[in-house]
Amino acid sequence: MLKTTNVFAVLLIALGVGAFLTSSSPTALLPAYVGGVLLAVGGLAIAFATASKPLTTVAMVVALLGALAPAAALLNRASQMSSLALTVNLGMLALCATLFILHVRWYLQSRRAAAPAAG
């Protein structure tokens, strides 16, 4: 799951930097900030293997918040956004929501796999 998190983090960073280079607006970097946090959490989880499960939970929360922020922005003012802002928000929503769903699936699968061993 950590490699997947790092891949999504790099994609978010690329989305944010690309949007910033196109628009020069500092708010275009928001996906890059979320990606940077995810990359840091993924790096910490790789460096400290014993803390990988709690750090994976942190990554799941960051992905959820990263999905909720553009969703709220799209609900409130999608009609007022430029095409670039709309694209960046939709891209961030898609990436973060997909990562969150993958984390939830991974978590549920690991719980199911651990259940017979505990019984």
- Evaluate if residue 118 carries a pLDDT over 60: no
Mean pLDDT of the chain: 90
pLDDT tens per residue across span 50-72: 888 889 899 999 999 999 999 99
Q: Which tokens go with 78?
A: 């999608």
pTM for the whole thing?
0.88
Q: Are the C-beta atoms of residues 70 and 44 closer than 8 Å to each other?
A: no
- DSSP symbol at 24: -
Q: Which tokens go with 116?
A: 């017979």
Number of domains composing the chain: 1
Q: How far apart are CA 58 and CA 44, in angstroms?
A: 11
Q: Range of 92's domain?
A: 2-118
Q: Are the C-beta atoms of residues 40 and 55 closer than 8 Å to each other?
A: no
